[in-house]
Structure 1
Amino acid sequence: MKIKMILPGLLTSIGIAVISQLLAQRVPALGAATIAILLGILLGNTLLRQPQLAKGTKFAESKLLEYSVMLLGATMTVQTIGQIGVWGVGFILIQMTVTIVGAMWIGQRLGFSQSMRLLMAGGNAVCGSSAIASIAPVIEADEDDKGTVITLVNLMGTVLMLTLPWLGMSLFGSQTILKGALIGGTLQSVGQVVAAASMVNQATVQFATIFKIMRIMMLVVVVLIFGRLHQRTLENELAEDAVVSGNGSGHWLPWYVAGFLILCALNSIFNLPVIIGATAHTISSWFEIIALAAIGLRLNLVNFLKAGKRLALYGLGVGTLQIVTALILINLLLK
């Protein structure tokens, strides 16, 4: 009975994901992930508003993103960090720190809740939708907040994906590693990083991917820190041991983040066969695109547009901060 209730919404999300993949072959600059969420928003607010889709889209949004995060662990190793050197690691750590602090501060100034600010900070600093999916249960984020931030982060990423390659080529010329640092250290999702770097050349794709992987490998640290921040907020606001212990015991480290860490460690120690990493990457990408389609289907466009001006300012502020910080750090650390 439960499967029957889930199936309509899940199949609808899969259908949109397939269409998005096909459209992405014709419009590679956008990418399947961005097309999926935009198509989901369009259809979810017009033709596909049936209540019977809700359980399936809810399942796709939550569970498939969790599996997507876990499988990412099999695609990377700790040794990858060595390829960008000490200064490259320093660049990523400072860039992420400034992004998180800046996103929290800008969001507070604009009047967004702590939950929205943490999701925005993590999504932009680490790896977009996957980071938001990992952070949301740890901070007990509202589903509407989660969907809104994922949509905003993906829209921001699309704009940056189309502009950063040209900015990098105009500023850094033939310095491939610097162009890779700008793209891989700034863009939100892996797909956006690869698409943007592909507009430059294959060497830029390799360096941009390494910088991006370094950010992804910090996912567990960010989740743990944000979980602690949320726990402290509960302690300060509620001062009730039962509430605090209830939160901490259930969501300190989500199973899929632990799975991410375990797979990454196994791949680092045993150097898993290439086919395993490639398969994990493919499945993870599909799960993410299906989940993004579901998020689009579930997003109430009217509510999203009501906060349009503040959200636009938030996205513009964080995006500008990321680019300016990246350019300063590249000139200071990597040139």
Structure 2
Amino acid sequence: MQVSPLPTLPSRLATRGVEVLPGTLLCAAIAAVSTVIGSFLPMLGSAIPAVVIGVLVALVRTPGPRLRPGIGYSGKFVLQCAVVLLGAQLSLASIVEVGAESLPVMLSSLTVCLLGAWLLGRALKIDRDLTVLVGVGTGICGASAIAAVSPVIKAKSADIAYAISTVFLFNILAVLIFPVVGHALGMTPHAFGLFAGTAVNDTSSVVAAASVFSASALGFAVVVKLVRTLMIIPISIGLAVMEGRRSGEGERFTPRRVLRLVPWFLVGFLVVATLTSLGAVPAAAADLLTQVSVFLVATALAGIGMSTDLRAIRTAGLRPLLLGGILSVLVASTTLGVMALTGAF
């Protein structure tokens, strides 16, 4: 008879808590320092110092096995919790409005990115799987899209690691460059939220770039980014069909498999936004949740900074990096072009 794991859940959670605590506390300490830095330099905010300190720590001394679980936990789960809390800033009506407004810009940039990846990957003679991973990572939502698509195309672990490292490199550059571009073009917080949410490919970097630009751009940018994240579903289904035809082993997509592609933090974000819409979250509580989410973002970015594998980027060659760079520029320029055509700024 199979024993239910439910009775052992408290002990397993306790074990997991002890495992991740040291690394998480280190990330939180870096976030605290970054928050102080951001209070003196508001243009930087707490996000950029956190990721820079994290990278510097990793360069000076690679985190050991005692710290690594918590660092990984911070870079993923803590960030997802931060996104959930950002739902307290928005109502469901505003989310629907944002989705409708961002759709033309988002679909245009995604189409250009995927077409560019196909053409440039062939021209640069880059492996098909690596081209797909860099393309979806740049066009949709960074590591989340890469993680969702990898099992669909049966990608090798080396390709997955390189694609994530490549996308992460341009995420960091986007955090540094996009706010400068936004201010230079005289964007409003609303316009910059659309720009960052569409053209920056990873949730952490979207949050960081929007935080640096202005606090009022953050909520809008996150909603645009989460709408864009939903593109994982049709892209994964399309790639599964193509892979099935190519290998002769087509796999049926059931509703349950489709639902598994929806990130849990997107559901959590919508739940919090629903509670806010119903008046269940008082204004004071919403402000507190927003402040907590900003600190959690800094904690997560510290973890992401310390997780950067610079050696993997150096040893894998320049062509995939070139592909990622060109695609990032294509996505950003397409986003700005469509925004200009539609009068979004």
Q: TM-score, normalised by structure 2?
A: 0.73
Q: Quick one: which of 128, 152, 156 aligns to 2:170? A: 152
C-alpha distance in 1 between matches for 2:318 and 2:42: 27
Question: Do the aligned residues in 2 keep the contact of 1:119 with 1:136 (CA within 8 Å)?
Answer: yes
Task: Identify if the C-alpha distance between structure 1 residues 45 and 237 changes in structure 2 by more than 3 Å, giving closer, same or farther.
Answer: farther
After TM superposition, the structure 1 stretch with the greater mean CA deviation from structure 2, 26-35 or 14-23, is 26-35
- Match of 2:324? 314
Counterpart contact for 2:165–2:313, Cα < 8 Å? no
Q: Does 1:225 find its partner at 2:221? A: no
Contact 2:112 2:334 in 1 (8 A): no
Q: Distance in 2 between matches of 1:264 and 1:237?
A: 42
Partner of 1:51: 65
Q: State which of 15, 31, 49 in structure 2 corresponds to 1:17.
A: 31
Question: 1:152 & 1:40 partners in 2: Cα distance?
Answer: 16
Q: Does 1:26 align with 2:43?
A: no
Aligned residues: 306
Kindly indicate whether the alpha-carbon contact (under 8 Å) linking 1:77 and 1:268 is maintained by their aligned counterparts in 2. Answer: yes
Task: Choose which of 178, 194, 210 in structure 2 pairs with 1:193.
Answer: 210
- In the alignment, is residue 63 of structure 1 matched against residue 72 of structure 2? no
CA 236–267 in structure 1, closer or farther in 2 if over 3 Å, else same: farther
| 1:96 aligned residue (94, 98, 106) | 106
Percent identity, please: 19
Q: Deviations over 1:5-62 (max 9, x none)?
A: 3222222211222222222223333332222222212211322432322111122222
Conservation of the 8 A alpha-carbon contact between 2:78 and 2:296: yes
1:143 and 1:274 map into 2 onto residues whose CA distance is 42
Q: Deviations over 1:212-236 (max 9, x none)?
A: 3551452463343344345435544
Gaps of 5+ in 2: 1-14, 152-159, 201-205
Structure 1 contact 41–297 (Cα < 8 Å) conserved:
yes
- Match for residue 221 of structure 2? 212
Q: In the alignment, is residue 138 of structure 1 matched against residue 148 of structure 2?
A: yes
Residue matched to 1:163: 181
Cα gap change, 1:259/1:215 in structure 2, threshold over 3 Å: closer, same or farther? same
Q: Does 1:184 align with 2:193?
A: yes
Distance 1:50 1:249 in 2: 37
Structure 2 equivalent of residue 174 of structure 1: none
d(CA) in 1 for partners of 2:19, 2:95: 44
Secondary structure of the corresponding residue to residue 31 of structure 2: helix
Paired residue secondary structure (2:195) = coil
2:295 corresponds to which of 265, 269, 286: 286
Report which stretch shifted further, 314-323 or 148-157: 314-323
Instruction: Report how far residue 283 of structure 1 moved.
Output: 2.4
Correspondence for 1:105: 115
Q: Is the 8 A contact 2:170 2:324 kept in 1?
A: no
Aligned-partner residue type, residue 276 of structure 1: A
Which of 92, 95, 108 aligns to 1:78? It is 92
Confirm or deny: 8 A CA contact 1:64 1:290 kept in the other structure. yes
**Match of residue 307, structure 2, among 285, 289, 298:** 298
* RMSD (Å) for aligned C-alpha atoms: 3.5
2:276 equivalent among 249, 267, 271: 267
Range with greater deviation from structure 2 (313-322 or 98-107) = 313-322
Given that 1:58 and 1:294 are in contact with CA atoms closer than 8 Å, whether structure 2 keeps it comes out as yes
Unaligned runs of 5+ in 1: 124-131, 169-177, 199-204
Could you tell me whether the CA contact under 8 Å between 1:104 and 1:117 is conserved in 2?
yes
CA distance in 2, matches of 1:182, 1:317: 22
Displacement of 1:165 after TM fit?
0.7
Letter in 1 for 2:185: L
